[in-house]
Amino acid sequence: MDLKGMVLMEWLTQVILMAATAVAFVAGWVAASFAVAMYVFGAGVLVALAVCTPDWGFYNTAPKTFLEPVSSDEAQFNILDLFPSEAAKTAAEIRVSGGEVPTRYNGSSGKRRKR
């Protein structure tokens, strides 16, 4: 079930059980028997269980999409891409002092350090 499906399922339980209570009351009043009311309500509970407990297709109309899984080599981040304004300022200082502007930061690479 996705999130919309969960909301739908909860709404359906309330509506089905409210309808079951109303129908059971009317049936018991008309038949002048409390046993009839209990049986009708029990049938309503079974209907609610059948509709709301299994993971039917109509509960999955907006499934949550996740990104493709990547390997740990590809999952490195480049700190120069994460902070471009700071990288530009440092690159300007390096050019003024006559050095070579790197495209990658060759220090820590963003992977978790192995202990």
Partner 1 sequence: MPLHNVAHRMNVVLTTAFMFLLVLVAANWLSHFALRAEPRLAVSVAKVNILTREDFLPRLPDMSRKYQPLRRDVANVSLAISMDLTPLFHWNTKMVFVYAYAEWPSKNNAVNQIVLWDAIAQSADDAVLEFPALGAEYRLSDQGFGLRGKTLNLTVVYNRIPHTGPLEWREYPMPSFTMPADYSQ
Residue 23 token pair: 């129908």
How near is the Cβ of 68 to partner 1 at its closest, in Å? 23
Q: Which of 4, 13, 56, 90 binds partner 1 (CB under 8 A)?
A: 13
Residue 81 token pair: 């891409």
By CB under 8 A, residue 31 contacts partner 1: yes
What CA–CA distance (Å, rounded) separates 43 from 54? Answer: 17
Residue 7 or residue 75: which is nearer to partner 1 going by CB? 7
By CB under 8 A, residue 14 contacts partner 1: yes
By CB under 8 A, residue 32 contacts partner 1: yes
By CB under 8 A, residue 86 contacts partner 1: no
What is the distance in angstroms between the CA of the first residue and the CA of the last residue of the chain? 40
How near is the Cβ of 105 to partner 1 at its closest, in Å? 41
Binding residues vs partner 1 (CB under 8 A): 1, 6, 9-10, 13-14, 17-18, 20-21, 24-25, 28-29, 31-34, 37, 41, 45, 48-49, 52-55
